Amino acid sequence: MGAERVDVIVVGGGTAGCSFVSHLSEVSDASVSLFEAGPSVASHPSNLFASMARSGVMDTSFGATANDKGDSYEYLQAQVLGGGSAINGLIALRGAIDDFNEWCEFDGLTDWSWERVERWFERVDTPTSLIEESTRQSVTQLLRDSWPTSLPVPLAVVGGLRQSSDGVRFAAARASGRVSIRTHSRVERVLFDGARATAVELADGSRYYATCIVLCAGALRSPVLLRRSGVDIEGLGENLQDHPSVMFAAKRRAPFSGDFPITRYVPIKFEQAGDAPDVAHVLAYEQIDSHAEMGGIGVSLMDVYSRGELVEVGNGKWKADFRCLSDGRDLQAMAQVIRETATDLASADLGSAFEAGDALRLASDMQSLADMTDQLLAEWLRSHVRTLSHAAGTCAMGVVCDAKGQVTDIDGLWVADASLMPRIVRANTNETVAMMATRVAQFVADTLGG
């Protein structure tokens, strides 16, 4: 039997992979094989923690350090058809207008202005609803009372159902008969003929050939796959970014009983100009992990300047070294937001949300944070900061890839996932990733058509 050959191979069936295939099959007749390391699951729970608790849908094998002060931790990533969108916190926010206008300032990226990307967002916008009003629980109410400027979070949920990227549009692509989906199929390396990518190889040694190979394995796995395949382009695996975050958690008065643990947020802008992008978000978490009795307030920096990189740690293993707050602008902004949040929480009625003893402890912790010297607060932040699992930037356009997602100096090889972002957007990343992957699908369709 001859080797299998298709027009396009997609590696990774997460947010980017499913968005890419959906659009490509709408605008071209290309034959596609999609390889996904995880399983396909009929439907996904709306609750973030219920989604993640299912067996075999998470990849926690990638180590991470937030910075040189903090401990190592397992970085949470999805490993399932639908990827992050099948397990994530559902917050559906587009990147800010200024994010894309700033991308234009990177070498060769003028085509990514807001004016150019807006219609692509319109094409992929995930249907959302504002759940919070109907499920008003204690932490949500605390945020409403303490910050009258807070807003309900748009959640990628309709009729109680998670709107993941392996949903409706992808199902239509699947039904086209031109797309074959191979789950439980981890691609080990990309193979080349000179400067042209020609095939992928799986762990069992089987090889699959295509005219275009498109990496959608996510911002940690795509660069590692390129390295393992012998690609050594300057900047590959560098420019690693995520949103630094700190969680203030305590035991709730009553265990959380709803479906949507993240409900309401406060966009923080230092300059009160109306359209300025958010510097940070303060979020109400009705549940902070699989224990339904713990709730919290999360503070996340959205406007990020620090840059980390992927580091090989031996035995084929890699670590994400985020170097959070290593840029003084991030440290200063985070310190300001934490101090303001701690001051507000110290005087808030925490007893309305949290158990009496816990509320008191949290209030005194808040007071001591609010009173800390700059130096002590900086130390505290560097020990406590984590990230939101929004990894981005490791195969950046303008550095590792061109403005269409094609890997520099290699024919037939593209990237279409979160690694392409030159600078992480000032919003949760899923909607921007879907938009970018859809655009790259159009570029690949144009290439195949031409």
Where along the sequence are the contacts to ligand FAD (CB under 6 A)? 11-17, 35-38, 59, 76-80, 83-85, 87-91, 186-187, 216-219, 221, 225, 389-390, 417-418, 428-431, 433
Whose Cβ is closer to ligand FAD: residue 65's or residue 77's?
Answer: 77
Nearest 5°: CA angle at 311, between 307 and 228?
Answer: 120
How far is 82 from 62, CA to CA, in rounded Å? 19
| Closest distance of CB 378 from ligand FAD, Å | 27
Alpha helices in 67-113 (DSSP H): 97-103
**Of 358 and 389, CB closest to ligand FAD:** 389
Q: Are 152 and 137 in contact (CB under 8 A)?
A: no
Q: How far apart are CA 100 and CA 69, in angstroms?
A: 33
- Nearest-approach distance from CB 357 to ligand FAD, in angstroms: 30
Residue 374 CA, distance from chain mean position: 31
Q: How, if at all, do strands 280-285 and 262-268 pair? A: antiparallel
**Taking the complex as a whole, how short is the minimal distance between the CB of residue 59 and ligand FAD, in angstroms?**
6
Q: Which CB, 59 or 259, lies closer to ligand FAD?
A: 59
Cβ distance to ligand FAD smaller for residue 363 or 395: 395
> Closest approach of Cβ 65 to ligand FAD, in Å?
17
Minimum CB distance to ligand FAD smaller for 225 or for 445: 225
Q: With respect to ligand FAD, which residue has the nearer C-beta, 33 or 341?
A: 33
SS (H, E, C) 153-202: CCECEECCEECCCCCHHHHHHHHCCCEEEECCCCEEEEEEECCEEEEEEE
User: Least distance to ligand FAD from the beta carbon of 334, Å?
Assistant: 19
Minimum Å gap between C-beta 417 and ligand FAD is 3
Using an 8 Å Cβ cutoff, are 157 and 361 in contact? no
Q: Which residue has the tokens 């701690």?
A: 342
Q: What span, in angstroms and rounded, lies between the C-alpha atoms of 49 and 52? A: 5
CB of 398 to ligand FAD, least distance (A): 18
Nearer to ligand FAD, 225 or 403 (CB): 225
Residue nearest to ligand FAD (CB): 14
Chain-centroid distance of CA 195 in Å reads 31
Q: Which residue in the block uniquely carries the two structure tokens 């959302």? A: 128
In angstroms, the CA 27 to CA 449 distance is 10
